[in-house]
Amino acid sequence: MYWAQRVLVRRRRWLRPEEFADLLGLCQFLPGPNIVNLATVLGESYDGPAGAAAALAGLLVLPMCIVTAIAALYARFGSLALVHGIFSGVAASAAGLALALAGHVARPVVTRRPAGSLPIIIAAFVAAGLLRWPVALTLFVLAPASIVLAWRRIV
Amino acid sequence: MTAAGTLAALARIFAGVSLLGFGGINTVLPEIHREAVEAARWISDRQFADLYALSQAEPGPNSFIATLIGFQAAGVAGAVVSTAAICLPPAALAYLVARVWGRIRGSAWRTAIQTGLTPVMVGLILASAYILIRAADHSAAAFAVTAATVWLAYATNINPLWAFAAAGLLGAAGVF
């Protein structure tokens, strides 16, 4: 996303900063990878379905080929002792990155409305992490309650 | 499972989670783990942690963990099917919503939905971190690397890829 902002706004100047922020708001409201949503919406605004398809292809095809090649290397060499050792380290580090991400996302939410958010955060963690509920079930049970809480605060 | 059956299962699983992934792939990792590791057994717990690490370091969107798991399950065809399944349903939805975005942009219910979904997403991201830590950390040294990365990525502006590189070097030296 950092690179998308850099190219679209600062280098090519296709979008003004506030247009980019608005587009990002839409993409964060929708499910799925933000960058995929961004490419689709922007492509559509230039040339309809063809524009959206072109933007998606441009975004996905080359990285998919690279990642598939990486996956093949992993399948071939992943069990070698040296590679196994490297992955033991990087996987432990990446798990830490996931926890740091949770912290970054949690901080503004908890600071702004602790009573409305903390019980929901803990419930979602227990349901999906400890009880291993499916994510769809967790969302189905907790999202309506959380949205009602948020709605009562807004109106 | 037949080859076509595996491809169909990959398409079903990743297309299914793709529309639940509000706030990024980390919110649906618990579901991907349930399906790919616990139910279908395409990969081990340990490989799940490895592939997550790869998906964080590679050039595409983080959702390409689907590509990596798809390849492990069914080769190149699995990689292509899984990438399409995780990306195209949300793209189709984004395409449709973009056309009405002007009308719902400032509405109160949109704000309520977004505000209400966020804490659920935070809890799901925490659950992902818990699952990854359980899969990756089997020694005190690995826990120390996890803790150091949490600190680096949360409290400093240093690019976490440096932590990956340092942890990889320690691993190559046989620390874990």
pLDDT at A155: 67
Q: Is the pLDDT of residue B62 over 70?
A: yes
Average pLDDT in chain B: 91
What's residue A14's pLDDT?
87
Question: How many other C-beta atoms are found inside a 10 Å radius of the C-beta of residue B85?
Answer: 21
Report yes or no: A91 and B53 within 8 Å, Cβ to Cβ: yes
- pTM of structure: 0.88
Between positions 2 and 21 of A, the ones with CB within 8 A of B are: none
Q: Does A73 touch chain B (CB under 8 A)?
A: no
The set of residues, in sequence order, having a beta carbon less than 8 Å from that of B167 and lying 6+ positions away, is A89, A90, A92, A93, B145, B149
What local confidence, expressed as pLDDT, does residue B138 receive?
86
Percent of chain B residues topping a pLDDT of 70: 100
Whole-angstrom distance, CA of residue B15 vs CA of residue B34: 15
Render pLDDT for B13-43 as a digit per residue (tens, 0 to 9): 999 999 998 878 889 999 999 999 999 999 9
Partners of A26 on chain B (C-beta within 8 Å) are 94, 97-98, 101, 105
| Residue of B50, B125, B131 with shortest CB distance to A87 | B50
Report whether A98 contacts B128 (CB < 8 A): yes
**Helix pair B140-155, B108-136: axis angle to 10 deg:** 150
* pLDDT higher than 80, residue A125: yes
Q: Which of B25, B27, B163 is nearest residue A93 as measured by Cβ atoms? A: B163
For residues B31 and B10, give the distance between their C-alpha atoms in angstroms, rounded to a whole number: 13
- Choose, out of A66, A97, A146, the residue to mutate when testing the contact with B (most B CBs < 10 Å): A97
**Are B59 and A67 an interchain contact pair (Cβ–Cβ within 8 Å)?**
yes
User: Among all residues of chain B, which has the CA nearest to that of A153?
Assistant: B112
The two three-digit tokens of residue B155, written as one number: 């409290």
Q: Give the residue-averaged pLDDT of A33-47.
A: 89
For residues A150 and B41, which has the higher predicted lDDT (pLDDT)? B41
Of B51, B117, B176, the CB nearest to A146: B117
> Does A6 score more than 90 pLDDT?
no
Instruction: Say what the pLDDT of residue A116 is.
Output: 85
* Average pLDDT, integer, range A110-138: 92
- Asked whether the predicted pLDDT for residue B170 surpasses 80, the reply is yes
pLDDT digits (tens, 9 = 90+) for B91-144: 999 999 887 877 777 788 878 888 888 899 999 999 999 999 999 988 999 999
pLDDT in tens, B83-98: 999 999 999 999 998 8
Instruction: Give the pLDDT of residue A129.
Output: 93
DSSP state of B22: B
Q: Are A45 and A51 in contact (CB under 8 A)?
A: yes
Quick one: pLDDT at residue B147?
A: 96
Find chain A residues with C-beta within 8 A of B93's C-beta. 30-32
Spatial contact of B171 and A86, defined as CB atoms under 8 Å apart: yes
